[in-house]
Amino acid sequence: MLQQVVDRRLSGKNKSIGNRERFLRRYREQIRDAVRKAVSGRGIQDIENGEDISLPRHDVSEPGFGHGAGGTRETVHPGNREYVRGDRIERPQGGGSGGAGQGASADGSGEDDFVFRITREEFMQYFFDDLALPHLVRTQLLPDAPEWKSQRAGFISEGNPTSLHVVRSMRTALGRRIAMGGEARRELRELRQKLALMLRNDETPRGEIVALQARIELLQKRLRQIPFLDPFDLRFRNRVRVPQPTAKAAMFCLMDVSGSMDEARKDIAKRFFILLYLFLQRHYEKTEVIFIRHHTQAAEVTEEEFFRATETGGTVVSSALTLMQQVIEARYPPSEWNIYGAQASDGDNWHQDSTLCREILVNKLLPLSRYFAYVQVADEDQNLWEEYAKVKEEHANFAMQKITGVADIYPVFRELFKKAGTS
């Protein structure tokens, strides 16, 4: 008879997802360190690609076991004419280790580090492993796209064999056997006591003894016919799907595109926001990103316009903060959304406007926001930095950092969005 076998495993043939996941869990710290080192050698645009990870040979070495000779043995070893007990052996000349090392040996043999490739998804997982949006809370259950979670809901009499609960089934079978045979066992116990008394009494008629023995055999047969395990006894673990609250977050990205922001500074700011955008896409499906750029006037733009358009002009930072407040009031009520803000600027601003920016942050935006991060892509202390420093001293949900070069982007990003309790 011809049978057709269809392989529906997610891993496909000749692959082992389970073994790979165990390997990644086992060397989690080494892989995470390798990913962090790889970040410094690639551009932000290429950050989503996979990576060849090299682990030191001693980190992936497996323990070896062997059997000793055992028993009592007599062995004659070669003689030694150079050393006696207690002598110190000098280190070999040339700085060698005296044995086969990781590098090339005299005969060309050696052992290389273990190299394997992690996928794009795995790279991003380790890259953003210990980062999170601070103060993220679950504010509302989304009726249109709820998240579901499977949880236990007692036991049922029908189900998949893999969910069979053996202990509960045996307990039910024991209770059934006790209930079905309880009366018969009680009667059997009484009849056996009565039979013992009748056998001790020589005057008991033989016919009564035979009748009593027949009744005892009938009860024993009836008890033996009670099945040890019946399909009715089987109990299966029951699991149901329940909706889970989904956190909704609105992330506002504000960037200065004025004339004081040269191309190098704009490039650093764009790279920071690209990293932030990838981070949000990775961890929070229910997050909406709002892009606002400004010079003397602010405008809400698309992602393409935000990262690629080139404009110049004066600087009025308060225009972007005011527009952010208007968008929140129009589309993102704080009772339903977690509001986050990230602002990038060189710090150059009209002096009177910097004071207004601090007032807008303190009185209007920070009370509505979970977290607001300011990144200055310049080393000098501008008037906007001085005003924002006053805000940082008084509000825990406000953070600020400086980025002076491309190499500072990722460390600053980690500092701004690291999980609570991590270093």
pLDDT tens-digit map of 244-277: 655 677 889 898 888 777 777 777 787 777 777 7
Which pLDDT belongs to residue 140? 45
Rounded CA separation 310/257 (Å): 8
The per-residue pLDDT of the chain, averaged, comes to 76
- Tens of pLDDT, residue by residue over 374-415, are 988 888 877 888 889 999 888 888 988 888 877 777 777 777
| φ, ψ for residue 187, nearest 5 deg | -65, -40
pLDDT band at 311 (very low <50, low <70, confident <90, very high): low
Q: Is 186 left (phi over 0), alpha (psi -120 to 50) or beta?
A: alpha
pLDDT band at 144 (very low <50, low <70, confident <90, very high): very low
Which pLDDT belongs to residue 105? 45
pLDDT band at 423 (very low <50, low <70, confident <90, very high): low
Percent of the chain with pLDDT over 70: 72
Position with higher pLDDT, 45 vs 89 = 89
419 pLDDT more than 80: no
CB 226 within 8 A of CB 177: yes
pLDDT band at 134 (very low <50, low <70, confident <90, very high): low
Which pLDDT belongs to residue 103? 46
pLDDT band at 325 (very low <50, low <70, confident <90, very high): very high
Rounded CA separation 358/321 (Å): 10
Global confidence as pTM = 0.51
Strands 369-376 and 298-301: unpaired
